[in-house]
Structure 1
Amino acid sequence: FEGNLGKKSVKYANLAYFGHMWELYAFWVWIPVFLKESYNLSYPSGDATLFFSIGTFIVFISGALGNAFGGLLADRIGRTKFNIIMLIISGSSSLVIGFFFNNTILALIIAVIWGITVVPDSPQYSVMITELSDQDYIGTSLTVQTSVGFGITLISIRLLPSFVHTVSWSFGFTLLALGPLIGILSLILLRKEPDSTKIGQGKK
């Protein structure tokens, strides 16, 4: 089992997943708060609760739609390529959304784009681990990947409000860009590994 986890390809796939998880759940937890506070700033006399409810619904449903079509696109262009594209877009969204904190409508549009792209790469990491791992250790490898990944989410969820308190919402979500950056670099390195041809039957 240790030899399986020590394989470079498995390490890179796991690192990419951990970067993805650093971003994903912190986004889900804190984007509703961001949108509500953005609305309160832009429209002090408006109904923030109504906007909060509708805006959050739109962001989350867009993520579900992105996930539904993501698998088809990943099969078409290759898992690692697809995930890199998703990480580039979601990571860029985390970097720029804060600059539109004073413009709620534009912030919501970026949040929807972020919501669409932050989710659909998730299943691909599990599939890659299944393809890259020794057959006797697939279950254990997936358990380790998921357990560590969810542990990482607890850290980013907890850190983000403290970071926002320090730098404001204008730069708060930039903390999450660290995850996509790690993910992109890990996937680039993964693509260079000889056994990466196992991914997607060679369509990596």
Structure 2
Amino acid sequence: MKPPKHILPTIVIAQFFCTSLWFAGNGVLVQLISQFNVGDGSLGNITSAVQLGFITGTLLFAILTLTDRFSPSKVFLWSALLGALSNLGLVWYTAGWNLILTSRFFTGFFLAGIYPVGMKIAADYYNKGLGKSLGYLVGALVVGTALPHLLKWLAAVFPWQYVIYSISSLSVVGGLLMFALVPDGPYRKSSQRLDLTACFAVFRKKDFRAAAFGYFGHMWELYTFWAFVPFLLGLHMEMNHINIFPVSFWSFWVIAIGGLACVVGGYISLRKGAKPTAAWALGLSGLCCLLSPFLLSWASTPVFVIFLLFWGIVVIADSPLFSTLVAKNAPTEIKGTALTIVNCIGFAITILSLQVINLLQDAIPTEYLFVVLALGPIFGLWGLLRK
């Protein structure tokens, strides 16, 4: 049976509205830093707080199998409401810097009931063509990832508190949309009992393990690349003695173009298959890692920007396809739990990757720094394709 036409657009819009919570703090960091008069190191702390909250939340959600034991739309709604409330902690800046970090931690925690749960809801409706459906969902997240660059501009035009109020309001609307318009899907199979080992036992299945390993390799590269896009552009400008260049503008497009790549990759997977399409994207993004020192040093600025745009396409195009493979190779009754634990481990890997790159900045020539990211695609391809 074909799902009603409103289902996918509603899931995508709700996902975008609610995941905008993720990067709300990034858009007003300058204002928060000036309020507290703290050093630049706090920028990393406020971002890491969200990631740590998300990892904690996904681990707890997975161990308790919440999205498989309860209605995913209700889990999504409550997570959206509580995430919106946590996000409002940013405007209570007079209470102290520790409250700001706590606010971002709990925002990340409740995002665990939004991002992987949105994919679970889509999987409950789209047994066939899941790669295309998740392409739209992850594409919405990618555009949200680029949003901080737009928020920086908005925060300069309006009082920064209005940005936070608006994003929390969007999260509430997104949660209500999902709850009101997207009931439990026809392919959902409820898990009636609590199984604290289900999230780890699923890795015994070979095909699931292959998909998860591919995703883990992909995540080693993805968020570190996104985090360092402005740095890469600035480094190229410095090497080529260019003084004026719209770094924020091109950073937005290098990241945002990945949203379109997710959608296109989903359609390609309908003809070529999710696994081959993901493998090609992962291999090409690994090649970009290896080519990065040469393009940084020798390419003209237009060529380098085109290179980064291509990298921005292939670095994310495989993400919804790995989630598709994870969902399809997990037992139906714990599909949500499987997606959640894979997200948990994947985002933990992103923190490790970021820290490794930070530590290596003083140890190796800067232009060779991002070759290290190729280790992720190499491992991912090995995990995905080995017999």
TM-score, normalization: structure 2?
A: 0.46
* 1:89 equivalent in alignment to 2:287: no
What does residue 161 of structure 1 align with?
358
**Offset, 1:43:** 2.4
Equivalent of residue 217 in structure 2, options 9, 16, 19:
19
What does residue 260 of structure 2 align with?
65
**Offset, 1:81:** 0.3
1:118-197 maps to which residues of 2 (within 5 A)?
A: 118-189=315-386, 192=387
**Offset, 1:114:** 0.6
SS in 2 for 1:96: helix
CA deviation map 1:25-75 (0-9, x unaligned): 00000121111121122124x214x2x123212312321221121100111
What 5-or-longer segments of structure 2 have no aligned partner? 1-197
**Offset, 1:165:** 2.5
What does residue 4 of structure 1 align with?
202
> For the residues of structure 2 that align with 1:101 and 1:13, how far apart are their CA atoms?
32
Mean alpha-carbon deviation: is it higher for 55-64 or for 78-87? Answer: 55-64
What does residue 197 of structure 1 align with?
none
The structure in which a higher percent of residues are helix is 1
Mapped contact 1:97–1:107 kept (Cα < 8 A):
no
What does residue 75 of structure 1 align with?
270
What does residue 125 of structure 2 align with?
none
> For the residues of structure 1 that align with 2:277 and 2:367, how far apart are their CA atoms?
29
TM-score, normalization: structure 1?
A: 0.85
Mapped contact 1:34–1:169 kept (Cα < 8 A):
no
Moved >4 Å (runs of 4+) = none
Higher relative contact order (CA 8 A, sep 6+): 1
What 5-or-longer segments of structure 1 have no aligned partner? 193-204
SS in 2 for 1:153: helix
Report % sequence identity. 31
What does residue 199 of structure 1 align with?
none
SS in 1 for 2:361: helix
**Offset, 1:89:** 0.7
**Offset, 1:133:** 1.1
Q: Which amino acid in 1 is paired with 2:218?
A: H
**Offset, 1:143:** 1.2
What does residue 53 of structure 1 align with?
248
* 1:30 equivalent in alignment to 2:228: yes
CA deviation map 1:159-200 (0-9, x unaligned): 1132233222321111110111111112212xx4xxxxxxxx
Aligned length: 187
What does residue 143 of structure 2 align with?
none
> For the residues of structure 2 that align with 1:95 and 1:163, how far apart are their CA atoms?
16
What does residue 240 of structure 2 align with?
42
SS in 1 for 2:249: helix
**Offset, 1:106:** 2.8
